[in-house]
Amino acid sequence: MLKNVRAEAFVVFGSLAFAFNGIIAKLVLTSGLSAWRLTQLRCTGAFIFLLLFVLARKGSSLRTTKKELPWLVAYGIIGFALVQFGYFVAISRLHVSVALIIEFTAPIWILFYIRFVKKKHVPKLMWISVAMGFSGLLLVAQAWQGMTLDGLGVVAALLDAFALAAYFLLGEKLVANRSTDTLTVYGFAFASLGWAIVCPLWSFPFSIFTQKINLLGTFKAYDLPGWVLITWIIFAGTIIPYMAVLHGLRSLSASTSSVIGMLEPILAGVFAWFWLGETFRIIQLIGGVVVIAGIITADRARSTVH
């Protein structure tokens, strides 16, 4: 029981860190750095640090097999690169709330995979928990306001949802036989390689590191150099939350972890309200309660979803 509570705490903490990172990333994006370059910087920076850390600790733990390697490649490209790629394209063409709602259909696709591909039983409580979580997200995002659907945006958001589902499923599979830190190294390694091909490193705008960036909103009277915010994004907004989620996956199913991940849009809304002054209404608070109720329901169903 205590082990499961700790695992859930890891996933909740990961969602919190990802949500707060969205605010810091937005500050850097307003400075002129493109979403593609920020994602590349995030992945490559995390890869370099984690690689050095693992090599100094126990380099031999990075050894892999021909059988495992294709899964690691898929995990890095799909679970790290495509999740971020799909999200940035979606929010560039859709209302952010709509993009988030489509992205967080991931738990539904995971349940479909478990039920219809793996032919395993999915208890009614888990279906109910996903329905509750998704309904809560609709309220949090207030999707009925300013909804403008764009074909490419919807496709990108669906790609993001499928990639997020694959991230949880592949993570659940791989973490059973590999340490969290080495798995994360491989994930960022192949994601970084993919971005290096798409966005050559020699044309990277390195001036972002010394550029003064305004903190906007509540802290608009203050500026910080780009390297400070980027360091936060790499460590507190990328390495720590990714590893926290993987730690949780050691004891939780992919379906349960993905439902808990629905906390991220709620927490992002709270941070945006506090820092950037964005509106957070009563209906959104109600939606947050519904999502949390869905997570509690998923926890009750967890033991039978394997």
Q: What is the pLDDT of residues 4-56, one digit of tens each?
A: 788 889 999 998 998 898 889 888 888 888 878 988 999 999 999 999 989 98
The one-letter amino acid at 101: I
**130-to-6, 122, 173, 230, 290 alpha-carbon distances in Å:** 22, 12, 22, 34, 11
Quickly state the pLDDT bin for 211 (edges 50, 70, 90): very high
pLDDT for 163? 94
Alpha carbon distance 181, 99 (integer Å): 30
> Which percentage of the chain shows pLDDT scores above 70?
92
Lowest-confidence region among 112-121, 139-148, 214-223: 139-148
Task: Give the pTM.
Answer: 0.82
Do β-strands 223-225 and 212-214 pair in parallel, antiparallel, or remain unpaired? antiparallel
Whether 306 has a pLDDT exceeding 50, the answer reads no
How does the average pLDDT of the chain come out, rounded? 85
Higher pLDDT, 279 or 227: 227
124 vs 130: CA distance, rounded Å:
10
Q: What is the pLDDT of residue 140?
A: 74
Distance CA 151, CA 207 (A): 35
